[in-house]
Amino acid sequence: MIKELLNDLSKIPNNYSFKDIQDFNRMEERFYDVDANFTNILGWNADSLDFCPNDEPPKNDEILAWLWVIHPEWKNEILEFADEKLKKIIKEYEEYEP
């Protein structure tokens, strides 16, 4: 799935509804983890998130960070393609259980 998305950027959503996000309870934590490390690639609306990459086309690390925020259930596949910075963010997130 991740490889397909990285190869066809048109399939990556630019807006994603809160109601469609798995593990919504910790979505805010993922959002701020990504926002602190990939400045300004995410937007927060009343009922959804936006993907606002800094580069055109977006860099793979920006795409993977976005996908992890909205699809944390894809974590293992995202980790296969992630750079060291994103891997560290995800691993630290996983180690912390609120």
Would you state the structure tokens that stand for residue 42, as one six-digit string? 């995410």
| Cα 90 from Cα 79, distance rounded (Å) | 8
Task: Record the pTM.
Answer: 0.93
Q: Check pLDDT > 70 for residue 9.
A: yes
Summarised one tens digit per residue, pLDDT across range 29-87 is 999 999 999 988 999 999 999 999 988 899 999 999 999 999 999 999 999 999 999 99
For the chain, what percentages of helix, strand and coil (3-state, to nearest 5) are there?
Answer: 60, 10, 30
CA pseudo-torsion sign 95, 45, 67, 59: negative
Q: Check pLDDT > 90 for residue 97.
A: no
| Cα 94 from Cα 97, distance rounded (Å) | 7
Query: Predicted confidence band at 1 (pLDDT cuts at 50, 70, 90)?
Result: confident
In the prediction, which pLDDT does 71 show? 96
The CA–CA distances, whole Å, from 64 to 22, 46, 97 equal 16, 23, 22
Query: Predicted confidence band at 88 (pLDDT cuts at 50, 70, 90)?
Result: very high
Residue bearing tokens 């995410």: 42
Query: Predicted confidence band at 98 (pLDDT cuts at 50, 70, 90)?
Result: low
